[in-house]
Amino acid sequence: MSGLMIETFREATLLQCGFLEKLLDLDIADVAAFSESMEQFLAPSPENKFVYGLAAGRSALALYSFLQLIQNHFDNVFPFTLEDPVQRHYRKGKNLGIAISGSGETPAVNKYIKDTIAHGGEIKLITANENGTAFRLVSDYEMGFALVIKARTKHATDKDMRSRLSPLGTEFELEVLAFLNALFKDIQSRLKGICEVSCPEYQSTIKDFEENARLIAKMGSEHLEHWLGRLLPRSGRYMIGGVGRSGLVARAFEMRFTHLNKISYWERDFNAPSYQIGDVYIPISGIGNTYEALQGATMALSKGADVMPITANRSSKLVSLMRRHGRTEDIVFIPVKPEYAGIFSGDTSTTTWLMSDYTKFRYPIFEINASIFTNSVVAVGAEFLGIVEAGMRRMHV
């Protein structure tokens, strides 16, 4: 792996830091209006409410992270996705659709926007295209709210530097992920009765995300070069795993391996094959103690496959397992600011059937940084494999 590839990694990372910084330039009145309308819907009520995530692909995974926050914090607000048709759970006056579509032309998303409108439900849209069908549908609807985040999407045809460093909508997807997580802090503030038009919680959270992200560009070149050199030039299969919000990052990462013309699987796909020599398992786990990551790593190692974890915890059970097998050089530690280091420490085990309050309410600093790191790895992979964005687009569903 050449030094030029490390330079690509750093360029891609710094470009994404710029994407986060752009979120501070949004019209703060629009941000406040979006937050206020969410606060009104989420305000305590004895009745059950339903939130529909209307999105597809990696944009959906960015939205589902926000839906998990809602589900974790509100006992009587239930999120649904495109797999749950609007009609199935519709309750008049208790429904909110949140649509994400960079181009505004995703057929499935627009179909469910129309369904929500037909049933008289409230709907919010985040898009990059104010000339798209989705924007027109929502902005013309009296109970609709459309927010435009200007960003390059998968339908972009320009061939500037971003097409190499952030292909196929990476910019829009990352900005949606960071925006919604930061917005949630402002919503929480409003629910406590603190309603400031400048949205200080939103702005401080975006700045914090950016400061943490810039640490990725300072990762050690020698170890990073080793890790990338182990990951990319292989003919075996890629198995990507994770749970919770880290799992959403993992699924987005797995999609990109398909776009790079690699054979890849989400760890819990029904068609995921057994491990073989030459395969690689990439568990993404901030704390590094989740049952699935440990089980997957143990199984992969027993079959002779490589294991290349992405984590933030140097004292986890996963790191201990890798150390016993002499594989510590195959671990990537995602950096976080010193004030967050204590969050990612220790070897306390977790299970899928019991989620602690810590896990439910943890600040998503690892997930944002892991998203940026994996996006930069994809940029390196595209360059290393000689795949341009047009080729990735042909592999895109």
Q: Which among 387, 383, 380 is positioned nearest to 221, based on CA atoms?
A: 380
* CATH, range 3-214: 3.40.50.10490
Please give the single-letter amino acid code of residue 116. T
pLDDT digits (tens, 9 = 90+) for 87-134: 555 566 678 999 999 999 999 999 989 988 988 889 999 999 999 999
pLDDT confidence of residue 382: 87
Question: What was the pLDDT predicted at 156?
Answer: 52
* Cα 227 from Cα 56, distance rounded (Å): 31
* Identical fold, 3-214 and 220-395: yes
Token output for 128: 């990059």
Whole-angstrom distance, CA of residue 296 vs CA of residue 322: 12
- Residue 324: its H or E element: helix 317-324
3-state DSSP call for residue 206?
helix
Domain boundaries along the sequence of the chain: 3-214, 220-395
Band (48; pLDDT cuts 50, 70, 90): confident
In this predicted structure, what is the pLDDT of residue 170? 81
pTM: 0.91
Query: Phi and psi at residue 269, in whole multiples of 5°?
Result: -65, 145
Q: Comparing C-alpha atoms, which of 149, 151, 124 is closest to residue 138?
A: 124
pLDDT in tens, 278-302: 999 999 999 999 999 999 999 999 9
- Mean pLDDT for 379-387 is 85
Element holding 79 (H helix, E strand): strand 77-80
List, in sequence order, every residue forming a beta bridge with 306; answer none if it has no partner.
280
Location of structure tokens 């170890």: 223
**Residue 282 structure tokens:** 């990439």
- What pLDDT, in 10s, does the model give residues 55-70? 988 888 889 989 988 9
* Confidence label for 163 from pLDDT (cuts 50, 70 and 90): low
What is the model's pLDDT at position 90? 58
Short-list 394, 348, 339, CA closest to 167 = 394
- Give mean pLDDT, residues 355-371: 71
Q: SS3 of 209, please?
A: helix
* pLDDT greater than 70 at residue 244: yes
**List of residues 6+ apart from 244 with CB closer than 8 A:** 68, 359
Higher-scoring residue by pLDDT: 360, 366: 366
Is residue 159 pLDDT above 60, yes or no? no
Question: Which residues, listed in sequence order, are joined to residue 333 by a DSSP beta bridge?
Answer: 311
Q: Which of 172-186, 189-203, 237-251, 342-356 has the lowest mean pLDDT?
A: 342-356
Q: Which fold has domain 220-395?
A: Rossmann fold (3.40.50)
